[in-house]
Every structure is written in C-alpha cells, then in structure tokens.
Amino acid sequence: MLSKRGQKARNKAHMDEKSQFSTRLKLILIVAACTVPGLCEAYAILWGARHGLTGKALRDGLDFWAGGFLLLHQQAPILFDHMAYQSFLQGLYGKLPYHLWSYPPSYGLIAAAFGWLPPWGAVFAFDALALVLLVFVLRVAGKGWWFVAAILAAPANLESVLEHQNGALMTALLGGGVLLLETRPRLAGALIGLATIKPQLGLVLPLNLLRRSPLAFAWAALAAVLLAGAALAAFGPGAWEGFVRFTSPAMSNVLLTGKPPEFAGGLISGFALVKPFTGVHGALVAQAVVSLACIVAALFTRSPAALLVLSALASPYLHDYDLLGAALAVALLMQDRLARGFLPGEPVLFFLMWFGPGLLPWMPQYAHLAPVLLLLLLASAWRRDGVAPCDSLPAPPGSPVLSAGRSPIPAPPESTAPG
C-alpha cells in the first residue's frame, strides 16, 4: 500500500500529465485554426488554375521558373530587359500582372537547377526540397517533431508555399545558422553564407558571427564567395553586370516609388510603415537608424529568437513570407515561456505575430501592425536573460533553454491560355 507521500507524488504526476496533454491539445487547435486563411487562399489559387488562369495561379513561382529556364538556356539578357521579359511570359500565358526577376545570379543557380522542369513541376519540386531542408536543420538543432510540425503549419510558411517563394529556404539557412552556431559553427556559418542569395535578411549577422565565432564567420565568408564564384562560372560576368545595372536599381525603384504596386503593396517593413507620414527621405533615415541599431544590438545578442527578429526589423524590403523567421522566433519563445511562465500580454502578442502573415492577404492593414509587433516580440525575446554578453557562458545542460524542442508545441509549357 502506497504511503500518503507516495500517493501525493503519484497524483501530482498524473495532474502534470493531464495538464501537459491539455496544453498540447490547445496549441494544436490554435495552430490548426491559424491555417484557415491559407487554406482559403489555396482554394482560390486552385480555382484559378482550373479556369485557365495558370500564369496568375503560379504567382511568384512564374519568375522562379522563368529565371531558371532562361539562365539554363543562356538567355540571361532577357531577364535584364523589361520588355523582352514581359513578352516572354505573356507569350506563354497571355496578359499577366507585372513580373520582374529580382534576385542575384547566386539565387539563379538554385532556379536553374529546376529550369529543365515545366513551371508547375519546378515550383512544387523547389517548395518540397526547401521544406525538407527546413525540417532537416530543425531536427539537427534538436527540435522535436511537434515543434517541426508547428513551423510547417505556420501561416508564414503556408504563404511562402502558396506564393512559391523562398521563406522556407531562407528560414532553413538563417534560422538553422543561428540555432546551430553554438554546437556546429562550421555548418552554421556555411548556412548563413548561403543566405546571401537574399542579403537584405542577413544584415545583422556578419558582425555577430565575427564577434561570437570567428570560425563560423570564416565558413560563412567562404560559402558566400564560393556561391558567387559558382554563379560567375555558370552564367558569365554578364549576369552579375545585369544584376548591378538593372535588377538592383529596379528593386530600389520599387522601394522608393512604391511602383509597381504588385511588388511594393505587400511591404511590411519599418520603411513602408513610416513612408506615408515622412516621405521617402524620412523613411530612409528612419530605416537606416533602425537597421544600424539592429546591427549594433545583434553584437551583444545570443538569443536565436532575438537574432531572427532583429534580422526582420533591419530589412527595408520585407514581405509576409519573410516572417517565417519571426514565426520560428515565436515558437522558440513559446517553448521558453511554457517552462518559465508568461508575462501579461505575451500570449496575445505571440498569437498576432504567428497568425498575421496568413491574415495579410485578406486584411492588408496588418502590414501597418507587423513592424510594431516585431518590436514587441524583440522586447519579449530580450526579457528574462534573453540578451547575454557574447562572452557569457551557455546555459547549463538540462536547462529549459536547451531542453526546448521537446515541449508540447507543437521545356516551356505548350499552353498559351490567357492569364
């Protein structure tokens, strides 16, 4: 017969197990509910594809395939000629919204690897492999399957997949880099170096790496140089010249003029938030101050969640699918708060940051709220020892931080149909 003390311990363990199951169930239901806007968007895309709107249904994936196809077939000059590029796309799918190849040649290496496939095959293969890479780095970082499943179901990830964008790929590279920096500095550095395919999202990391792990910085520099060199060897100097003379100025023009609206309308950065009130020059000054502050703050930051949020805040060119890194930060903070407790308002903040990217296509007003939420999320990441000097000791084995991840958180197509 059990003693009273043994019986109490048994009852407490049973209650803890029941509480853990209840928490897991609630989180699963919340994560599932947050996928509803994305599922509705997926239905709209499927409807368009079935009704002859294939070009529009491909969305940004059309640029990904077209860039890869043209680079693979040594037709890079078309990418840097606005009229020729539009004519190429419209010759396939009829009238389309404005399209623009907006990436460096290093990203073209990835696109060209899929350029031999038809458009739908190319974008689905890219999406699938990006998700596999994201799962791989999260598992290598010690995250449990509940955590991985939650990230895959994040609205920001659904938006990335539906738009055939690179949110999952960039989160695998940047998120994996900051998560693995302490344990696997070579791999972490290599991942961050490869993230130069979209350099505006990694502004805060070079100096952070240089101070915290010179070895990781060296591997990041090596990976970036090798990637750029491979693009030069594959496509020749004309591709880099076109990027410098056409692509980069065109993207700067999108940021400064807000045209075309297909590109500028979805911006959710601090620059986009203050521009209507201060004009272009005031917004540039404000974004420069924010970016510089983020770079300096990152020098003294060890928290992966804080670094991911700083990376988003520092970028003047930010879209909904770029917030998958912030969603990863939310998941990391949820793990910590389940162990340490929440401050008032934190659950609401986490929910709004998680749910927002899926809400944005239906409620564009969220774009004005996103930078504010990022700032609040940064403050949350920095509280309770979220920021530590770079020479401080890592958390001891068995600490709630290191045990995170095991918590209950869970050839061109023949079609010429008009677009």
The tokens for 404 are: 């995170």
Whether the predicted pLDDT of 406 surpasses 60: no
Residue 416's CB: how many other CB atoms inside 10 A? 11
For residues 264-271, average pLDDT: 80
Residue range 34-57: mean pLDDT, rounded: 87
What does the pLDDT read at residue 17? 60
pLDDT in tens, 390-399: 444 344 333 3
Output the pLDDT for position 7: 63
pLDDT at 390: 47
Of 183, 223, 227, 231, the residue nearest 206 (C-alpha): 223
pLDDT at 91: 87
Q: Is 398 exposed, middle or buried (0-12, 13-18, 19+ CB in 10 A)?
A: exposed
Torsion of CA 345, 27, 357, 160, to 10 degrees: 150
Question: Is there a domain that residue 400 lies in?
Answer: no
pLDDT at residue 252, as a whole number:
83
The band of 205, judged by pLDDT with boundaries at 50, 70 and 90, is: very high
Region of 279 please: left (phi>0), alpha (psi -120 to 50) or beta.
Answer: left
> Does 409 score more than 60 pLDDT?
no
Span of 80-89, 227-236, 260-269, 339-348 with lowest mean pLDDT: 260-269
Measured distance CA(161)–CA(81) in Å, rounded: 28
Which tokens in the block code for residue 93?
A: 């799918």
CA dist., res. 353 & res. 184, Å (int):
29
Q: Report yes or no on 407 lying in a domain.
A: no
Domain housing 74 = 50-382
Q: Which of 94-98, 320-324, 355-359 has the lowest mean pLDDT?
A: 94-98
Q: Do the beta carbons of residue 115 and residue 61 sit within 8 Å?
A: no
Distance in angstroms (rounded) separating the CA atoms of residues 157 and 38: 9
* Closest CA relative to residue 314, chosen from 359, 358, 375, 260: 375
| Domain assignment of residue 397, yes or no | no
pTM: 0.85
Query: Please, what's the b/e burial string for 246-280 (b: 16 or more CB within 10 A of its CB; e: otherwise)?
Result: bbeebbeebbeebeeeebbebbbbbbbbbbeeeee
Q: Which one-letter amino acid corresponds to residue 120?
A: W
Query: Could you tell me which residues come within 8 angstroms of residue 145 by beta carbon, excluding any fewer than 6 positions away?
Result: none
Whole-number pLDDT of residue 8: 61
pLDDT recorded at residue 218: 97
Residue 264, pLDDT above cutoff 80: no
Domain membership of residue 77 (yes or no) is yes
Nearest 5°: CA angle at 244, between 238 and 250?
120
Checking if the pLDDT of 317 tops 60, the result is yes
Give one word for 401, left, alpha or beta, with left for phi > 0 and alpha for psi -120 to 50.
alpha
Domain count of the fold of the chain: 1
- Asked whether the predicted pLDDT for residue 413 surpasses 60, the reply is no
Tokens of 61: 């994936």
- When pLDDT is cut at 50, 70 and 90, the band that residue 67 belongs to is very high
Of 362 and 328, more confident:
328
Indicate whether 271 belongs to any domain.
Answer: yes
* Cα 265 from Cα 121, distance rounded (Å): 28
Q: Is residue 241 part of a domain?
A: yes
